[in-house]
Structures are given as structure tokens and as C-alpha cells.
Structure 1
Amino acid sequence: MSMRPSAKGTIPFGEHRTWYRITGEVGSGKPALVLLHGGPGSTHDYLLSMAGLADSGFPVVHYDQIGNGGSTHLPDRGADFWTVRLFLDQLDGLLQGLGIADDYVLFGHSWGGMLAARHAADRPAGLRGLVIANSPASYPLWLQEMEGLRAQLPPGVDEVLRRHETAGTTDSEEYAAAVQVFLEKHVCRVKPWPRDYMATHYEVYNDPTVYLTMNGPSEFHVIGTLRDWSVVDRCPDIAVPTLLLSGRYDEATPATVQPFHDLIPDVRWEVFEHSSHSPHIEEPERFGEVMRDFLAKLA
């Protein structure tokens, strides 16, 4: 169960606003744990269960990235607006605005893990540790691996997907149904999907601007602005203790995570044997143990 927030609200980000939620007390002596959700274009909702980590004394900060959830929506902005730099700047603004820039830990999930890695590579003075969860180190690598995962889908599914991708009809119900087969195998294997997870799903559906622009119409058809983006070249610059998490059935396959393991100097990698892309939902008890252990060692 998610714990009640001790604070929530919005802070300015340029002419826009960043929505945030804090569980636990900032300034209580332990670094704040800041959670970067995936997408890009997702929301904090599916990570709400992580508020429970506040019971280990680390205040937990959820926020919505610009363009989604409780933060400012900008459906009329073009591709040139939605850059990695925009999201890095928003994160910096959040850390400064909440007064936690001198003492914090980052947890980034999926795209959020790449974003967190890129932030960490600049060696901010207040960063104490980094968790990169279910994230690829590069989109070209991700796309390469997706070919293998698609080929292993039940007979006929990939054929339906490719037909719609070729025809440009990825907004059709048939495409959505075929995508669902992939999601239930490689993104979240819990059935039915929990309420928090569904909440994020609905948010993306209601305003898919960021996801469609930066990613594309589905997890494996990445034709957006991030299709060539990679953080591999910056991994050696990460100077804090780093924990890698991935699931045995993860869409972020071992090959996509390997560069983090090979190139980040102080790193360890935990694989969740019964999870795909969402171990915090799929194996919550072990996930909690692994996270608390990592945080305790940082403290």
C-alpha cells in the first residue's frame, strides 16, 4: 500500500509547472530518493508503491515529467521542444526547488533510468547513489533486441504488428490488441494490471504527445526523436554507487543493460527471476529488500 504523502504540490519550471509528491520528511538526515518514471510520456502513478520505502528513513519524491500527469501539458509543441535537455533541466529545477540538490539518490525506471544515468554522468555534487531499473543503455541496442522478442511472440502477432506499422495504422484496435500480447509478456506479467499501473496507462492514452513524439506508437516501434539516443558513451563518467535492476522476461534484455554493467565503475546487477519490466509490481517483496539493502549501504 502506498503511504500518505507528507507534501504534494507544484513548483515552477520556467513558465511551466512540475507536479511532485513527497512521502516522509525531507531534511531528516537521510538523502531524498527521487523517482524518475518511464515513457517518455508516462506518469508517476505506476511507481506509487515505492512510497513504502520511506519507512527506511529516506524521503521518497515522486514527480511527473513535463507534458504529463499533474505537470504542465503542452500538446501543441513540436518535436524540437521535447528534448533530453528539457527533462534534465526539469529534474535540476525539481532538486533545487525542493531544496534537496545537496543530498539525494536517483531511481530511474526504463527511459527514466537513461535520464538518471545522463544526469549522474555530469557528477552533481549532491548525488549519493543511482538505481537504473529496467533500462536500456541505448535505443539502437533496444531496437536490435526487440527484433528477437517480436520473433518469439505467439504465431501471427508480429505479422499483425508489422502490417499496421507499414500501413501507418498503429492507432487501430487490432494493433493495440497485438501490442497488449507483448506488454503482458515483457512489461508487466501481473494479471489483472494493478490500479496504479492502469492509472499511468490511462494518462498516456489521454495525452500521448510526449510518448508519440519521442518514442513512437509502441515499445518496439521506436520511430520518435530518441531512436538514435544512447548514454553508453557517458557511463564511465558515473561516479556514485550504482544498482542495476532487470527482470528475466524484461523488454530491457540483458544485452541492452550490459553496457551499464561493463562501463560504470561502481556497479552491481540484480536480476528478478519472476519479473519482466516491472519488478516493483511483479516481485514487490524482493524488490523492497534489494532497494532497502542498497539504500542502507549508501547511508
Structure 2
Amino acid sequence: MVGRSGFSLSTLIMPGPYACNKSNLNGVEVLPDHLCIQHMFSDQTSSLKFSEGKIPFYLGGEVFETYYKFFGPDIDASILSIAQGPLVVLHGSGMSHDYLTTLADLAPSTTVIFYDQLGSGQSSRLLWKDSSFWTIDLFIAQLENVLYFFGISHCFNLLGHCWGGVLASEFIARRQPKGLQSLVLSNTPASSKLRNELLAAQRLKLPERVQGTLKKHEAAGTTKTEDYRTAMRVFWAKHGCRVQPFPPEFIYTQCVSEDVEDPRVLEAMNGNMRLDSEWDMTQTIIPSMRHVPTLLITADLTESASAPFFWGIDRMKCVQFPTPSHTPQWGERERYMTVVAEFLKQTGHERI
């Protein structure tokens, strides 16, 4: 199969009844629906060799720290010692990188770089910063600093999950980076409206008691209570991560996002950048990404907040994981890694 810009996708399309063409959601691969999968990977990532540290980030006369961790075929050699550029992973807002460390499974063939965005994880938390500090320009500057630190600005790939995909898309639209080889968008909404509609539909599938608890605390502004968090864990078990018990990395990231000492980075981002209500990439951002080799990983595309990416990007490959999970890298770990690895191999010599 060949994309509209001549981007060969032939090695990425799976045989069998799930392969189709773009005229009827074709070019989309649908994977079987798996329900709850027991967590079997507790020690898998921890056994891999990695390097970690902190990168100084100078901004406006201040210096902050970006925590990073990278895995690779040979972490003692050059980070660009293999043919394809490294994969830089961008996590969701208010989270840390930890819930995405399953992507270290790619390390035998690809250097994988994780980092914590400012305000999250082990990077500078910046408790004293007000909402005006938290802008997309800030996170783009931090990403550029990471690329510069590793010397990979001329040759790299991006994978963004949820808000991480938003950040990657904004970065591409604003910077048009010449060294970008490919983009992976995993469970990334194209607009606040589509995301909110999807979340509302998912919440309607929860038990009425849980729905009532969520509504009560949201109306009262008491979303930091244990009662509310318990109800949200029911939501996450159904739509966030279907692996039971929750993987330790997922639990840790949830603790980071729920940290009562946190400066409410997520709330500040929602307020200052309108990520919760007005943000929309469909009209301006996505058209500027048409030329980028892109892998879109999503649930059912017909019900997905990611669909505008599929229709708006020419060099597009889409794989559906129809289980209603926000983290298919856990529930469909082996298949997820195979899909990403094959895509990176296929685009290994591309430049936008």
C-alpha cells in the first residue's frame, strides 16, 4: 500500500479481515478486543540497562532541571550509533514518564529517551509558578533543550501519548523540525471538544453510583478527596488501564498526578492554554503536519477523538486497539511494540 505522498506502508498492513483501505476507514488495522489481562511484566523493564540524569534548562535568567532516562542497544556508545534516530517519548499532562516505560521494550533496536516535563516527576516542580508560566512555548523549549543536549536535533523520532501528542503536534507546526523522521500519536485527541465528548460517553458506561460520586465532588470542588479518587480509579480500571492489578509504573504516575503538594500544573495548563475547553488542532495545526510520516494509535476510529489526524495527514498509518483503554502499551504490550518498531524501521531514513 502506498500513501498519498508515496510513503510506502506495505510492510505495516496486517493480513486478514482487519486490513482495509482509506475510502471506508481503510488503511486501518483493527486488533481483537481483549478484556482484562493480568499484569505479567513487573520485572521486564527494570531488568533493562539504562542511563539517567538531569539536564540543565536555562530560561529567562533561571535554571531548571529536566530528568531523563534512556534505554538503548548500547548505552555506553553514541546515542546515534544505530541507523534510525532515537525515539523521544512525550508523556501526558500532569503525569511523569513512568507509565510509558514499556516502550523500553524497543531498546534492542532503538534508543528510547524518556524525560519528565517541567512540573512533573523528577524534573523541577516549580511550586511557586503561577498559571501564566505554563505555556505550550515553555514545553516546546524544554523539548528542544532535550534534543540539543543529546545532539539529536538533526535525527530523531517523536512518540506522544495524550497531551504528549498535542505537544508533539504543536512543536511540528511551530518549528517544522528538519531532523524529524517520524511521529507516533498514541491516544491523542485532536480537540478539547472531541476529548470531552469521548470522556462523557465513557463515564456514562460507569455504574450509576460511581457517576453520582464524580458529579457530586466535581460540582462541590472537592476532587482531592479520597472518595472522589476512589471513584476515578473505577473509571481508570475500565477506560484507563485494563491490566489488573495496575502495573507499579502506572500506579506511580497516578500518584504523581494526584499529589496534593503538586502546584496543580494540569489545572494551570487547562486554564492558561484552554486545554480543557477551547483548544482545537483541526483547523490550523493538523494541516501543517500533512507531510509528516505518522503512526496513529487509537481505539475505534469511528468513536475516537483522534480521527481528524487520520483524515488530515497524508503520510498516515493508523492501527486500532478497540479495547476501551487509554494505555494499550500495557494491555496489548507485545502487539503495540511490534507496530511501533515496524513503523520506526520503515521510516528510519525519512526526513520531513
The match for 2:117 among 49, 65, 68 is 65
Larger helix share, 1 or 2: 1
Shift of 1:275: 5.3
Structure scoring higher RCO (CA < 8 A, sep ≥ 6) equals 2
Distance 1:138 1:178 in 2: 26
Range 224-233 or range 260-269, more displaced: 224-233
Answering whether residue 86 of structure 2 is matched by residue 32 of structure 1, we say yes
Distance 1:164 1:199 in 2: 24
Shift of 1:292: 1.1
1:49 to 1:102, Cα distance in 2 relative to 1, 3 A: same
Distance 1:253 1:162 in 2: 27
Corresponding residue number in structure 1 for 2:267: 212
SS of the equivalent of 1:184 reads: helix
Corresponding residue number in structure 1 for 2:68: 20
Post-superposition Cα deviations, 1:213-261, rounded to whole Å, max 9, x if no partner, equal: 2248xxxxxx98422222222111112210000135xxx9834111111
Answering whether residue 350 of structure 2 is matched by residue 296 of structure 1, we say no
The match for 2:322 among 268, 273, 276 is 273
SS of the equivalent of 2:133 reads: coil
Task: Return the letter of the residue paired with 1:235.
Answer: I
Post-superposition Cα deviations, 1:172-225, rounded to whole Å, max 9, x if no partner, equal: 222112211211111101111011111212222335321232248xxxxxx984
Corresponding residue number in structure 1 for 2:249: 196
* Unaligned 5+ runs, structure 2: 1-43
| Percentage of identical aligned residues | 38
- 1:274–1:283 CA contact under 8 A, matched in 2: no
1:205 to 1:150, Cα distance in 2 relative to 1, 3 A: closer
Distance 2:229 2:121 in 1: 22
Distance 1:253 1:212 in 2: 29
- 2:131–2:268 CA contact under 8 A, matched in 1: yes
Answering whether residue 284 of structure 2 is matched by residue 231 of structure 1, we say no
Corresponding residue number in structure 1 for 2:126: 74
Post-superposition Cα deviations, 1:54-106, rounded to whole Å, max 9, x if no partner, equal: 112x2110100011111111112111111111111100111011101100000
- 1:275–1:283 CA contact under 8 A, matched in 2: no
Answering whether residue 98 of structure 2 is matched by residue 98 of structure 1, we say no
Structure-2-length-normalised TM-score = 0.77
Equivalent residues, number: 288
Shift of 1:147: 2.1
- 2:84–2:344 CA contact under 8 A, matched in 1: no
Corresponding residue number in structure 2 for 1:254: 303
- 2:84–2:345 CA contact under 8 A, matched in 1: no
Distance 2:302 2:103 in 1: 23
Post-superposition Cα deviations, 1:131-155, rounded to whole Å, max 9, x if no partner, equal: 0001101112211232222222212
Task: Return the letter of the residue paired with 2:286.
Answer: C
Please say which structure displays the higher CA radius of gyration. Answer: 2
Corresponding residue number in structure 1 for 2:332: 283
Answering whether residue 94 of structure 2 is matched by residue 41 of structure 1, we say yes
Task: Return the letter of the residue paired with 1:273.
Answer: P
The match for 2:54 among 6, 10, 21 is 10
SS of the equivalent of 1:256 reads: coil
Answering whether residue 163 of structure 2 is matched by residue 111 of structure 1, we say yes
1:292 to 1:116, Cα distance in 2 relative to 1, 3 A: same
Distance 2:197 2:323 in 1: 24
Answering whether residue 198 of structure 2 is matched by residue 145 of structure 1, we say yes
1:224 to 1:143, Cα distance in 2 relative to 1, 3 A: farther
Structure-1-length-normalised TM-score = 0.90
